[in-house]
Amino acid sequence: MTDLESSKNGKHHEQQHHHHHHNNNDIVESEPLTWRFWRKQRYIVVMMAFFGFFNVYSLRVNLSVAIVAMTENRTVVDSAGNVSYEQDFPWDSKQKGLILSSFFYGYILTQFLGGYIGTRIGGNLVFGCGIGTTAILTLLTPLAAKHSLEMFLAVRIIEGVFEGVTFPGIHAVWARWSPPLERSRMASIAFAGNYAGTVIAMPSSGLLAARYGWESVFYVFGTIGCIWYVSWLLIVRAGPELDRFCSKEECDYIQKTIGYVGTKHIKHPWKSIFTSMAFYAIMASHFSENWGFYTLLTQLPSFLKDTLNFELGKTGFLSAVPYLAMGILLAISGYLADWLQVKGIWTTTQVRRNFNCGAFLAQTVFMMLTAYLLDPTWSVVCLTIAVGLGAFAWSGFAVNHLDIAPQHASVLMGIGNTFATIPGIVSPLLTGYVVVNQTSDEWRIIFFISAGIYLVGCVIYWFYCSGELQEWAKTPEQKAREAEEKQLQLTQTTGTAGIVNDGAELKE
């Protein structure tokens, strides 16, 4: 039976047995969701998470621009009229690659831990502390850089350690705050903060570095991060039942649609998780998207300045354009994904598959075009389209953990993001080794590698992804409910009562 048939049959049975039980998607709020998002506490959480991710990325990205200023040759003319050149830090391309990837050595270590602690003490604390600590370390970065290269690398690695818990942490928040039919929307709006952070941090880092020196880049963004941290701790709670601003009705609505039972101690079925093809499909997709994304995030300013000869001020602005496109498209793709599901046009599986693979195919094509054109205007256009369309992939794989196993989503995100951080480490180092003379042929290799990886991710996801709740992720209550429904169907088709009630048995 295809997804479509089973969903149609499901709807038919729902209508038949409506007087027997409620389906989760039939529960409605007395005051439906409108553009006045602040009336729903869960959208206040989304907005705070948006600003949280804004900080996550502005704290991560400022170095890509600052490093150009930290290592540039400045012309110095002394009183006698002698011309000499000086730079603050004489790092070569390999050292720069090491510095840009050092963050990810720390980042890869705490993904899994973040997901695990998130389910235990509450994702809100994990997410908040991760960003708050990174902000404090950012304020210390200029001191560290002036001390020594080793100290600078150490601070970046520790920043990575603390930022590593943010994505798994937020999945623990969504697992308790997001109704299934609003999932794509809520997660996409929050993730759009990543790109808003990138869009604002890249050009403003360029301007700050040019006007007030590179140190100011770290001071400004570090301070903004600290202010956010305090507000987050004051406003957001782990779940709706703990939030005094969340109305009783909204809390009930969220918990009923999620099917939240209130269990703190969740047992994770490790064997099933590591043998689940649907989970491996998400991981492959996440890896591919991050490869292209991190390659550009860390290398775009250098590519624009050294190969296409843009000046530093402009480089920051142009590097931000692709992420602006992505931020705008994320809001659209999240809304569209939910709408297609709510209207019943596509099943969850079809939404995830079509959004994800469509985006990857387009990204493969535009990455290859970038490699061939290497013209200042067209390269920026192609890269903007390639990065921007990634927004549709985020409404595919990034929300998919919550479809297949909502209770285990933060741990799944942790495992997947560990694997998906490898590109952040490998790609800047690889670029450092391949692109030595900043020639167009060298960059062509980098763009071809990215295009190939997108294609592989697309194929794996297409064949193995799923939008259905996996058998191993169902709670005993859900299994009991399903058994009861089966029993009802049996009773109605045969016209006789079932001899044994599976549902009652399972519940005991």
161: pLDDT confidence band, cut at 50, 70 and 90?
Answer: very high
Give the pTM.
0.76
Residue 82 lies in a domain: yes
**What pLDDT was estimated at residue 157?**
94
345: pLDDT confidence band, cut at 50, 70 and 90?
Answer: very high
Bridge partners of 77, per DSSP, are: 83
Q: Indicate the number of domains in the chain.
A: 1
CB atoms within 10 A of CB 499: 5
Residue 480 lies in a domain: no
- 480 φ/ψ angles, rounded to the nearest 5 degrees: -65, -45
Question: Please, what is the average pLDDT of the chain?
Answer: 84
Tokens of 27: 């529960």
Domain holding 405: CATH number? 1.20.1250.20
Residue 359 lies in a domain: yes
**What pLDDT was estimated at residue 6?**
41
**What pLDDT was estimated at residue 75?**
74
**Chain segment 259-316, per-residue pLDDT in tens:** 765 555 678 899 999 999 999 999 999 999 999 888 877 777 777 777 777 776 677 7
Listed as own residue / partner, the contacts of 70-78 with beta carbons closer than 8 Å and 24 or more positions apart are 70/145, 70/214, 71/96, 72/312
CB 104 within 8 A of CB 421: yes
Place of tokens 């109605």: 492
Residue 282 lies in a domain: yes
3-state helix vs strand vs coil in the chain, percent to 5: 80, 0, 20
- Nearest CA among 195, 207, 196 for reference residue 317: 207
> Averaged over 405-425, what is the pLDDT?
89
Bridge partners of 293, per DSSP, are: none
Q: How far is CA 446 from the centre of its chain?
A: 23
Place of tokens 């997901």: 115
Residue 117 lies in a domain: yes
Residue 247 lies in a domain: yes
Tokens of 499: 């001899």
**Chain segment 228-259, per-residue pLDDT in tens:** 999 999 999 888 888 888 888 888 888 888 77
Domain containing 206 equals 40-474
**Chain segment 75-96, per-residue pLDDT in tens:** 777 788 787 777 788 888 788 8
- In this predicted structure, the answer to whether residue 499 has a pLDDT above a threshold of 60 is no
Residue 72 lies in a domain: yes
- Amino acid code (one letter) for 496: T
State the DSSP code for 18. Answer: T
Residue 32 lies in a domain: no
- In this predicted structure, the answer to whether residue 459 has a pLDDT above a threshold of 80 is yes
